């Protein structure tokens, strides 16, 4: 269906620019300035920080103005540090996302052109074809067999047919057919924009995000209990109610990983930046961590395992002879179809450039869809109208009553065995076969009922060879603990041939067979089935859901409308730059090239990002839990506040500054050889084991300071400040690896950062800020004692680490 020139109205470029200024960009997104303000406020939303602010202000009112000022300054400095890191991460992601554009066909200045979707304005005339996103709210001006999936708006899975005058809504997408719409509303004014504004729609939380949330609540509960105990004990011993409360709240901030959101954001932005260099653009940050735990990758063979360049091998009739009529009719069908852009039609047109079809005039069309799996065009030559159909063999043969052989038309039953044999032979060789049929009609318009009693003509035989390194790549995926599932719409003979060449064992499960399985039976069957063929979009979705219910973490790679449902059900949705609009919009990650190399690099980066986040948690929950537990114990033994609130907060600030370099850290190769999953029980065990080791050395330190060195209050606090900080910093280098720490290379940034913080800790007591914090230089004996404590602490942790990883692992 084409638009007549007289109907090419649309807007002028000048009108469109003026409307863009008036209505704004066609996107549903918060303003950057508001986002910055919101991000800054988020750094101070912790209940402990708010309570600390309040208590510090109360302290100032009661006369402790300098201490209150120092405490508030430390909190603000820490919050600004977190904000700066997170803001940088968000800006990195926004820059990467700008590389992935969705384009829309519009009429501007009287001609069809493609523009980025955000530049669509009210009044634009938009051309819609299969696979296109509906870019805004509007009304249909012209239509031909247009079916739209509106599940995002209505929850209805089946496509809805649209007619002239029907409304279309932003966020829905075209399944099949052709249409012309006028845009009425854009951006936040659309119905979808209003829904997002009310509900803040988004993909569900990942296991990792849910695990972090649950773990955060656990730490919050522990911190609250310890705060109450510490405050009660210190208040009971008359150490000052305000100071006791400030001290307790400072410990509460210490045990809760306040920097976790910043560390995750920075870590994910590092991962996203690295993946962009490898050709993968991350649209949804959390999907990087899902990559880390993914153990099944579902993909079609075309373009991923094969060259992705469909070429015509031959046009064959029923006698397995090269046939000009089959070539001509298939070329006519491909040339005149306007629905779904696909490599098959491009390959047919490319191979028949010299064919003259100027004598044929198009009258009508029945566009391709994934239920019929065929498309028909009605053309006229001289006084004869021809309906020409091509598509998947099983879906074309079902509408054929006759066949053409040796120039004669015979009943299909006479030659069906010959057709089947030809189909099976070429499919078994790995070729893709497209069936071609036709019939004469005496009408100028057609509908789906006209696809019947057609004459089977022959096959278009296409070839898409396997990539040379396809088998090696699959073997590498397996070595990384990832199973490949081929999920294709191709026939089972082709799928079987590909699987055998790739060394994938097991029989092919077809769409018809899947329909016979109950949900429970399918869950059992998908565990040991690696090739699925002749699938509809809903069957692809069923397989993904069955795999997830079987306990796998699923990545799904798709580029067509038929993949969208499965992509939305997968843990990680992957698409490619040249995919249809709706596939790119549904994707978490968009590949700039369809290549397993890029996917493997992304998987490894996901694991690195996941493990670096775990390192932060390991270090924070073990050291901080140990320190807070020690402080709680010290409150019962030490006859004064073990540390001043401002000293505790400074410890938190400096240790947090050290761990901010974790996202850039290297990860040992043997640690990323298998999928990694969030395991809260593992982290709890880690926290208890290494937290207790930390506490033991803390108790050794403060009992020695009290009863052996008999230090003054100021020296006690200064010595414990030094020991507490240095153990947290050095233990970062130990707990960042499963190996002996000297056998694993940290990143340069991490090494320099920890070294710089260590130097600051040593020189701080000699500086004016140190005096404000009431820190004093230690004696030589105390420096030697603390050095010995740190050395024995590191050795003990190394022994504990070796024993721990023998018994437990992520």
- List active site positions: 300
Q: How far apart are CA 262 and CA 84, in angstroms?
A: 9
Candidates 442, 441, 445; CA nearest to 363 is: 445
Write the DSSP symbol of residue 624.
I
* Nearest partner of 613 among 555, 552, 683, 690, judged by Cα: 683
Cβ atoms 217, 56 nearer than 8 A:
no
DSSP-based three-state secondary structure for 530: coil
Taking the alpha carbons at both ends of the chain, their separation in whole angstroms is 57
How far apart are alpha carbons 88 and 94 in whole angstroms?
10
Torsion of CA 305, 309, 310, 314, to 10 degrees: -110
What Rg value do the Cα atoms of the chain yield, rounded?
33
552 and 675 Cβ atoms separated by less than 8 Å: no
CA nearest to 294, candidates 484, 472, 471: 484
How far apart (Å, rounded) are the C-alpha atoms in residues 141 and 165? 6
**Cα torsion through 660, 662, 665, 668, rounded to 10:** 180
DSSP-assigned states of every residue in 586-622: H-SEEESS--HHHHHHHHHHHHHHHHHHHHHHHHIII
Positive or negative, the CA dihedral 215, 218, 222, 228 is: positive
**3-state secondary structure (DSSP) of residue 637:** helix
The residue count of the chain comes to: 810
Q: Nearest CA to 450 among 466, 461, 439?
A: 439
CB 696 within 8 A of CB 663: no
- Residue 171 backbone class (left: φ over 0; alpha: ψ -120 to 50; beta: rest): left
């Amino acid at each position: 269906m084409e638009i007549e020139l007289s109907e090419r109205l649309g807007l002028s470029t000048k009108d469109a620019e003026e409307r863009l200024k008036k209505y704004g960009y066609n996107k549903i997104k918060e303003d950057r300035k508001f986002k910055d303000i919101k991000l800054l406020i988020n750094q101070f939303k912790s209940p402990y920080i708010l309570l600390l602010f309040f208590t510090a202000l109360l302290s100032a009112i009661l006369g402790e103005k300098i201490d209150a000022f120092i405490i508030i300054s430390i909190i603000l400095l820490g919050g600004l540090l977190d904000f700066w890191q997170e803001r940088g991460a968000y800006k990195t992601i926004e820059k990467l996302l700008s590389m992935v554009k969705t384009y829309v066909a519009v009429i501007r200045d009287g001609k069809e052109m493609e523009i980025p979707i955000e530049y669509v304005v009210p009044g634009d005339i938009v051309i819609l074809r299969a696979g296109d996103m509906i870019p805004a709210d509007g009304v249909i001006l012209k239509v031909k067999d247009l079916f739209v999936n509106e599940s995002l708006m209505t929850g209805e899975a089946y496509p809805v047919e649209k007619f002239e005058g029907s409304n279309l809504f932003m966020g829905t997408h075209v399944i099949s057919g052709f249409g012309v719409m006028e845009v009425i509303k854009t951006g936040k004014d659309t119905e979808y924009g209003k829904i997002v504004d009310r509900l803040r729609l988004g993909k569900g939380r990942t296991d990792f995000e849910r695990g972090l949330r649950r773990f955060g609540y656990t730490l919050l509960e522990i911190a609250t209990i310890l705060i109450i105990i510490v405050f009660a004990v210190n208040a009971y011993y008359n150490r000052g109610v305000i100071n006791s409360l400030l001290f307790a709240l400072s410990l509460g901030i210490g045990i809760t990983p306040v920097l976790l959101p910043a560390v995750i954001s920075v870590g994910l932005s590092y991962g996203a930046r690295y993946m962009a260099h490898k050709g993968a653009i991350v649209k949804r940050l959390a999907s990087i961590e899902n990559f880390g735990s993914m153990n099944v990758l579902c993909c079609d063979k075309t373009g991923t395992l094969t060259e992705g360049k469909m070429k015509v091998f031959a046009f064959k009739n029923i006698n397995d002879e090269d046939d000009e009529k089959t070539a001509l009719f298939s070329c006519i069908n491909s040339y005149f179809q306007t629905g779904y852009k696909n490599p098959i039609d491009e390959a047919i047109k490319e191979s028949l450039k010299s064919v003259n079809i100027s004598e044929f005039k198009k009258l009508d069309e029945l566009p391709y869809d994934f239920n019929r799996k065929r498309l028909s065009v009605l053309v006229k030559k001289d006084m004869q109208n021809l309906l020409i159909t091509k598509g998947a063999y099983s879906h074309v043969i079902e509408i054929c009553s006759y066949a053409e052989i040796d120039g004669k038309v015979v009943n299909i039953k006479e030659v069906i065995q010959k057709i089947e044999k030809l189909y099976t032979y070429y499919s078994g060789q790995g070729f893709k076969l497209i069936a071609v049929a036709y019939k004469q009609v005496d009408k100028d318009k057609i509908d789906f009922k006209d696809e019947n009693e057609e004459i089977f003509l022959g096959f278009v035989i296409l070839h898409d060879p396997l990539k040379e390194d396809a088998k090696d790549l699959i073997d590498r995926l397996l070595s990384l603990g990832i199973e490949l599932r081929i999920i294709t719409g191709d026939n089972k003979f082709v799928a079987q041939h590909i699987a055998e060449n790739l060394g994938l064992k097991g029989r092919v499960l077809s769409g018809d067979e899947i329909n016979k399985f109950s949900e429970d039976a399918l869950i059992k069957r998908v565990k040991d089935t690696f090739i699925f063929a002749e699938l509809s979009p809903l069957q692809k979705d069923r397989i993904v859901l069955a795999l997830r219910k079987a306990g796998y973490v699923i990545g799904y790679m798709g580029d067509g409308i038929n993949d969208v449902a499965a992509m939305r059900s997968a843990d990680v949705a992957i698409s490619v730059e040249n995919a249809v609009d709706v596939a790119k919009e549904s994707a978490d990650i968009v590949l700039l090239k369809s290549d397993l190399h890029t996917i493997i690099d992304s998987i490894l980066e996901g694991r690195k990002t996941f493990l670096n986040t775990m390192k932060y948690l390991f270090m924070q929950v073990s050291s901080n839990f140990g320190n807070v537990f020690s402080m709680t114990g010290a409150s019962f033994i030490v006859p004064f506040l073990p540390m001043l609130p401002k000293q505790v907060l400074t410890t938190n600030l400096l240790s947090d500054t050290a761990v901010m370099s974790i996202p850039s850290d290297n990860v040992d190769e043997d640690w990323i050889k298998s999928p990694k999953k969030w395991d809260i029980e593992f982290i709890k065990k880690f926290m208890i084991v290494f937290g207790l080791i930390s506490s033991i050395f803390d108790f050794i330190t403060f009992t020695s300071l009290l009863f052996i060195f008999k230090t003054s209050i100021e020296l006690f606090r200064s010595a414990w400040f030094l020991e507490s900080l240095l153990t947290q910093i050095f233990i970062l280098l130990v707990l960042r690896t499963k190996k002996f720490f000297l056998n694993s290379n940290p990143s340069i940034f991490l090494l320099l950062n920890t070294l710089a913080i260590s130097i600051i800790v040593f020189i701080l007591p000699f500086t004016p800020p140190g005096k404000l914090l009431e820190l004093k230089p230690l004696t030589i004996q105390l420096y030697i004692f603390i050095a010995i404590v740190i050395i024995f602490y590191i050795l003990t942790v190394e022994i504990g680490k070796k024993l721990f990883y023998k018994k437990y692992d992520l």
